[in-house]
Chain A
């Protein structure tokens, strides 16, 4: 048919190199921003940022951002927002601490109860959002107040500290060391690198077999080498500090499973479909109410986990915990390339965005920058990162 005619012009004018360029700038955008921020602070702190112990602390101190960003990116892809996660984390921290100090439950029971409380909170908010149809912005704004208030109620007798050791280890401990450098940590790093490249190669092979467009080989390998180098560098630093933090293992599992959920499962696809065009999703038979409900239950559980981790790390439950957590998580997701309109975003992007926030937090505190200025700087970084993304999209796109 007209097929031959259709293809001729494209062959006569091989404009492919331009397409490649576009993919490159977009994908390296967030990585580049992260690299720049790391280098900048490395210089500003006189090399202190990447001291082994500081890297260890960076991960421990900012694990909550990454955990929340994972849940938040799903919320945002579906076209919602969650403002309550900071308050929920604080309340769950209080619940965990009370379970152990007041009711003398073992640490694992406290963790389990905490996660269940998170799920219940998520179900509560999800109910109003999904089944009553109140915008998430309103429901979670209310939740932000309600759960902060409940935290204060739970902690009327003041801060609870001196928690059980195994509980504290969730947020502050490591897997232990075999020596200096720690071989287990290096091994985990190596496995991560091999796994990452292996998965990338598999995807490429599939795309090739199906004759679908894929990233040019050079770009793929460059990216893989850079990411691998970064992972091994972090592994090396951790191996010279306290070994692999427990929380890093938890994070690794979360990242892998949620990437799988978003990319490969029907649920994940429904999340993207709803964010892309809610009406079309409804008309395709997506049970949008239930999907929304589960998105918030999931967010509640992850907020609870963030609460557990930060309480454990601090070894205390305080009424003011989790302040601004929601803002860090939301910023991480948008820096990671998600769209305010919904339908766009990835776990990987959110994690990189979260790391960027983490490096900022850590770098600014090493530099002992005043808290007021820390906020100014974080706000500007968010603005610049998203502006950069939007401008680069506009330049490469048709309009």
Chain B
């Protein structure tokens, strides 16, 4: 008997005239980990939403066979009943409910509508043990980091007797440690006979975990090949994804470092709720013109908090310290002050802090620098469109036009809109928080090129990244942060993963 658990045949899907999928076929073997790779906007997430009934039967063309039977899911509940569970690119847990409540949300252990808490907590504990999460099931989700939330999502999937687990960029927001844990969990599930489909832009992970990989480009299947073979390398995936080989991961750069632009001294920040807790502890750092400075740290080390507190006190309470711009002390009390002083901060959380998701590309690109496009408070719409369009082209944002709603763009393309917005604000100091999160390999290269270009124009660039190779490949100097303290400053020549890791874990118990 054939061991194919899933057969998607000639799937096409269009969104009011825009073809997202154009005859994709996909076959997945039972008990395997099947990876799907492709550029931003290739249609990976859409394909999985078709599979899981997010887009109901009848809104797409083509056929889907699961365990030999043709499916016609109208809702996610239908697909879950068959054992197909999808964990979306954006996690979907309810922050104020407990782990146990989230696991059984919509699927409560109840009799006559009354929840059996003993059973709920008992089963939740078992499920947490299966995913290797050592937390009390009564803990609220908002107290967990992303890594642990991801595990709760998987526990939730397991509670539904999952046969086919779909993970859409599960490790995009995770640090290396959490990613490793997640990957070994997927491995473990494979041993228990659970099939997984995993979408990721981190090719190293794909090589580590996938049995088979399917490449999608522009809504079509390019090829499917086994990752067990000799030639199954990252380069092979890239070639297939991008349509050409990518020789270098980082574009060449010839740094011209000038005067100091930004200096931060004795910077202290306290947690906004737990006001006794110091989140940033006496930080000192400088950035020069034309310099790319990296900030390395583990999840929760305080990198984002440091950046946001500098950016107009967007984070934290009781902030103290001094900021110097071009040698002169400046006061930055609001985001508006920061922008006026030429500081820009491109957030790591594009949905929450980065984009007006119901607005189009135009209004998002211009949002932080409307003043540049307005005279006496009146916006010049023509120039605004033209500006957005020039970014659409130069950043290679895949969208039918600049009037496309950003909420409907693929994750990576949304990221490019956020970057465009801050580049357009014309800053002297550009702080990029995880600028390549969710971005495909080809586009990463483009973004590195853009960052280099900005530095070449004499801007000071700060890059916060959880991917050490990225920092090592780009930065002229790297600061390591551990538990809110700057624990090390490493020049390019000395930067290795080992050295950085040493500082990043300094002072940890």
Residues from chain A with Cβ under 8 Å of B359 in the complex: 272-273, 276, 343
8 Å CB interface, B241-294 against A: 242-243
Decide yes or no whether B110 CB sits under 8 A from chain A: no
Instruction: Name 7 interchain pairs, CB-CB below 8 A, sorted by A.
Output: A2-B218, A6-B398, A10-B17, A264-B379, A265-B374, A266-B374, A269-B379
Decide yes or no whether B219 CB sits under 8 A from chain A: yes
- Interface segment out of the listed B226-234, B333-341, B466-474: B333-341
From B217, B353, B367, B382, residue with most partner A Cβ within 10 Å: B367
Q: How far is the CA of A257 from the CA of B403 in the complex (A)?
A: 24
Decide yes or no whether A398 CB sits under 8 A from chain B: yes
Given that A15-B19, A272-B363, A273-B367 are contacting pairs, would A1 and B352 also be in contact in the complex, using a CB cutoff of 8 Å? no
User: Are B377 and A267 within 8 A (Cβ)?
Assistant: yes
Decide yes or no whether B507 CB sits under 8 A from chain A: no
Decide yes or no whether B172 CB sits under 8 A from chain A: no
Given that A5-B217, A265-B379 are contacting pairs, would A19 and B16 also be in contact in the complex, using a CB cutoff of 8 Å? yes
Decide yes or no whether A104 CB sits under 8 A from chain B: no
Q: How far is the CA of A319 from the CA of B279 in the complex (A)?
A: 56
Residues from chain B with Cβ under 8 Å of A283 in the complex: 311, 314, 335, 345, 347, 353-354
Indicate which residue in A19, A206, A285, A344 contacts B17 across the interface (CB closer than 8 Å).
A19
Kindly provide the distance from the CB of B105 to the nearest chain A CB, expressed in whole angstroms: 20
Known: A284-B421, A399-B54. 16 other contacts (CB 8 A): A2-B218, A18-B17, A211-B401, A212-B385, A212-B401, A265-B374, A265-B377, A269-B379, A270-B370, A272-B359, A272-B363, A273-B356, A273-B367, A280-B367, A283-B354, A285-B334
User: Are B14 and A15 within 8 A (Cβ)?
Assistant: yes
User: Are A285 and B352 within 8 A (Cβ)?
Assistant: no
Residues from chain B with Cβ under 8 Å of A10 in the complex: 17-19, 400
User: Are B16 and A396 within 8 A (Cβ)?
Assistant: yes
Kindly provide the distance from the CB of A10 to the nearest chain B CB, expressed in whole angstroms: 6
8 Å CB interface, A254-293 against B: 264-267, 269-270, 272-273, 276-277, 279-287
Indicate which residue in B55, B368, B374, B408 contacts A285 across the interface (CB closer than 8 Å).
B368
Given that A206-B382, A210-B386, A277-B355 are contacting pairs, would A2 and B367 also be in contact in the complex, using a CB cutoff of 8 Å? no
Given that A283-B354, A284-B421 are contacting pairs, would A398 and B370 also be in contact in the complex, using a CB cutoff of 8 Å? no
Q: How far is the CA of A357 from the CA of B312 in the complex (A)?
A: 45
Leading 3 A-B pairs by shortest Cβ distance? A276-B356, A19-B17, A284-B367
Decide yes or no whether A213 CB sits under 8 A from chain B: yes
Q: How far is the CA of A211 from the CA of B334 in the complex (A)?
A: 38
8 Å CB interface, A174-229 against B: 206, 210-213
Residues from chain B with Cβ under 8 Å of A272 in the complex: 356, 359, 363
Kindly provide the distance from the CB of A343 to the nearest chain B CB, expressed in whole angstroms: 5
Residues from chain A with Cβ under 8 Å of B178 in the complex: none
**Nearest-neighbor residue (CB-CB) of B393 within chain A:** A3
Indicate which residue in A2, A211, A280, A281 contacts B243 across the interface (CB closer than 8 Å).
A2
Q: Mark B41-85, 1 if CB is under 8 A from A, else 0.
A: 000000000000011000100000000000000000000000000
Kindly provide the distance from the CB of A76 to the nearest chain B CB, expressed in whole angstroms: 14
Indicate which residue in B55, B368, B381 contacts A284 across the interface (CB closer than 8 Å).
B368
Kindly provide the distance from the CB of B238 to the nearest chain A CB, expressed in whole angstroms: 13
Interface residues of chain B: helix, strand, loop or mixed (majority) = mixed
User: Are A9 and B219 within 8 A (Cβ)?
Assistant: yes
8 Å CB interface, A227-272 against B: 264-267, 269-270, 272
Q: How far is the CA of A357 from the CA of B224 in the complex (A)?
A: 60
8 Å CB interface, B316-360 against A: 334-336, 338-339, 345, 347, 352-359
Given that A284-B421, A396-B16 are contacting pairs, would A265 and B218 also be in contact in the complex, using a CB cutoff of 8 Å? no
Residues from chain A with Cβ under 8 Å of B363 in the complex: 269, 272-273
Q: How far is the CA of A50 from the CA of B415 in the complex (A)?
A: 54
Residues from chain B with Cβ under 8 Å of A279 in the complex: 352-353
B interface residues (Cβ-Cβ under 8 A, vs A): 14-19, 22, 39, 54-55, 59, 217-220, 242-243, 311-312, 314, 334-336, 338-339, 345, 347, 352-359, 363, 367-368, 370-371, 374, 377-379, 381-382, 385-386, 389, 396, 398, 400-403, 408, 421
Interface size of A by Cβ–Cβ distance < 8 Å?
A: 43
Given that A15-B19, A273-B359 are contacting pairs, would A285 and B218 also be in contact in the complex, using a CB cutoff of 8 Å? no
Given that A276-B358, A280-B355 are contacting pairs, would A266 and B15 also be in contact in the complex, using a CB cutoff of 8 Å? no
Decide yes or no whether A157 CB sits under 8 A from chain B: no
Residues from chain B with Cβ under 8 Å of A18 in the complex: 16-17
Residues from chain B with Cβ under 8 Å of A281 in the complex: 356, 367
8 Å CB interface, A342-364 against B: 343-344
Residues from chain A with Cβ under 8 Å of B14 in the complex: 13, 15
Residues from chain B with Cβ under 8 Å of A15 in the complex: 14, 16-19
Q: How far is the CA of A5 from the CA of B377 in the complex (A)?
A: 41
From A212, A264, A344, residue with most partner B Cβ within 10 Å: A212
Kindly provide the distance from the CB of B17 to the nearest chain A CB, expressed in whole angstroms: 4
Given that A5-B217, A10-B18 are contacting pairs, would A269 and B370 also be in contact in the complex, using a CB cutoff of 8 Å? yes
**Nearest-neighbor residue (CB-CB) of B352 within chain A:** A279
User: Are B385 and A285 within 8 A (Cβ)?
Assistant: no
8 Å CB interface, A9-26 against B: 9-10, 13, 15-16, 18-19, 22
Residues from chain A with Cβ under 8 Å of B352 in the complex: 277, 279-280
Residues from chain A with Cβ under 8 Å of B396 in the complex: 1
User: Are B378 and A265 within 8 A (Cβ)?
Assistant: yes
**Nearest-neighbor residue (CB-CB) of B349 within chain A:** A279
**Nearest-neighbor residue (CB-CB) of A289 within chain B:** B334
Kindly provide the distance from the CB of B426 to the nearest chain A CB, expressed in whole angstroms: 13
Given that A213-B403, A283-B347 are contacting pairs, would A264 and B16 also be in contact in the complex, using a CB cutoff of 8 Å? no
Kindly provide the distance from the CB of A315 to the nearest chain B CB, expressed in whole angstroms: 39
Q: How far is the CA of A206 from the CA of B368 in the complex (A)?
A: 24
User: Are A280 and B354 within 8 A (Cβ)?
Assistant: yes
**Nearest-neighbor residue (CB-CB) of B355 within chain A:** A280
